[in-house]
Structure 1
């Protein structure tokens, strides 16, 4: 596992009215601070990768649909530099995933339905000085094969 990446399995409390699920609590210690909360919808088969941040951490949650999430550690001082991790997140795997600054990240929507991603960041987006750096989804340095992998 890439150093600094954190996960939290989410628990659904189900009864005859539906379900309730706590997603994030202040005592979970998954974010150092709060900056922004956002949501995006992505169509089936789309790959949104890769990007990374030098300053902010991300916290990802997929409440609808399924996604293959890929992380690649770019941090110079990390013991896991150059390592790749794959996570399968979504309705069937309701987990939170903390992605530290310096770790490139992206995802591919699985199945035939769109996926919703909600994400919190430790900084708000600044259009004048964006902390967002892009790497092509098929970058040969990362060398990731986007076909589904077994974990």
Structure 2
């Protein structure tokens, strides 16, 4: 169960045969799909942290088709029952699922392992360079207080 209100995941199913596999990611009749705004892709090298930012109008749907990432969400919505709560997801090629991130939830990730990670994400709004709906928070902001270091036991 997700700790942050309005965040949810969708498991993905691989249909495999001797040629490889096929996997549906997102359909226009999926519960998490409001409307199409933009599809984007980014690649980051091992150890890179891209955090944090949030949107006031835009929802995101994230998927990591290659590599591995630690995804961190922090609820910035004062009217949410999970206000100021933080949640962590481990996503990547060995854990294929979509993550719905509602507007007002700060999000970021750290690339895990020895190789790069690729993120593919869908938004309900297209990016507008004249009026960007993107609000930045430092990855080490004390108000969030997330420790990005890997813990060995």
Instruction: Tell me if both proteins adopt one fold, taking TM over 0.5 as the criterion.
Output: yes
Gaps of 5+ in 1: none
Separation of aligned partners in 2, 1:74 and 1:123: 20
Aligned to 1:55: 57
Aligned to 2:76: 74
Superposed structure 1 runs of 4+ greater than 2 Å apart: 147-150
TM-aligned CA deviation for residue 25 of structure 1:
1.5
1:131 to 127, 130, 133: 133
Gaps of 5+ in 2: none
Contact 2:28–2:35 (Cα < 8 Å) also in 1: no
The two structures have a TM-score, normalised by structure 1, of 0.96
The two structures have a TM-score, normalised by structure 2, of 0.95
1:119 to 118, 121, 126: 121
> Structure 1, residues 39-68: CA drift from partner, whole Å, max 9, x if none?
000000000000000000000000000000
Matched, 1:15 2:17: yes
Number of residue pairs the alignment of both structures matches: 150
Aligned to 2:31: 29
State the SS of the aligned residue for 1:51: strand
